[in-house]
Amino acid sequence: MTFELKGISKLGDKQRLDELISYVKIQLDDEDDSLALMANISAFIMAILKDLNWAGFYLVGKDDLVLGPFQGLPACTRLAFDKGVVAKAYRSNEIVKVDNVHDFEGHIACDSNSMSELVVPIKTNGKIVCLIDLDSPIEDRFTDIEVEGFKKIAKLLNDRL
């Protein structure tokens, strides 16, 4: 399957999210392997959304959160359940948006260039199995457009990963 991303750079944030949602739907129709889905979804996120320096997944392990497929610089391979933005999203079972990670007590800086973060839980049978983690080098990067768009993406991915 071939994907054309021409013209993405000319789109506004809402249209970019709509395109991303379309690509996620196509992937879900075409692939049922969780690892392959996470790998391509993280690549689509980085290709379509602007001003990101990292996009990927953390998988819920037995004792911690474990790095999954991602795009960006090397990242922390394991995160404790009790520290950081990803862990907060896991514990609260909700999307967490942080406008300035330096103001977040317990922030884990895998990339010192990251300024803002958005984390989205994905569930199977109502239990979180992984989380999408987005980092940006721009403070206040994530808006309600991304929050609402990723709620839709989470709904598509629930019970699929």
Q: pLDDT tens, 89-130?
A: 999 999 999 999 888 876 676 767 789 999 999 999 999 999
Percent of the chain with pLDDT over 70: 94
Do the beta carbons of residue 31 and residue 37 sit within 8 Å? yes
Q: Reply yes or no on whether the pLDDT at 1 is more than 60.
A: no
Q: What are phi and psi for residue 16, nearest 5 degrees?
A: -60, -45
* Paired sense of beta strands 78-79 and 65-72, if any: antiparallel
Measured from the Cβ of residue 111, the count of other Cβ atoms closer than 10 Å reads 16
Query: Six-digit token pair at 111?
Result: 């990339």
Query: Six-digit token pair at 22?
Result: 């379309």
Model pTM score: 0.93
In the predicted model, what is the mean pLDDT of residues 129-143? 97
Minimum mean pLDDT range among 3-17, 30-44, 112-126: 3-17
Q: In terms of C-beta density within 10 A (0-12 exposed, 13-18 middle, 19 or more buried), how is residue 97 classed?
A: buried
Coil, strand or helix at 142: coil
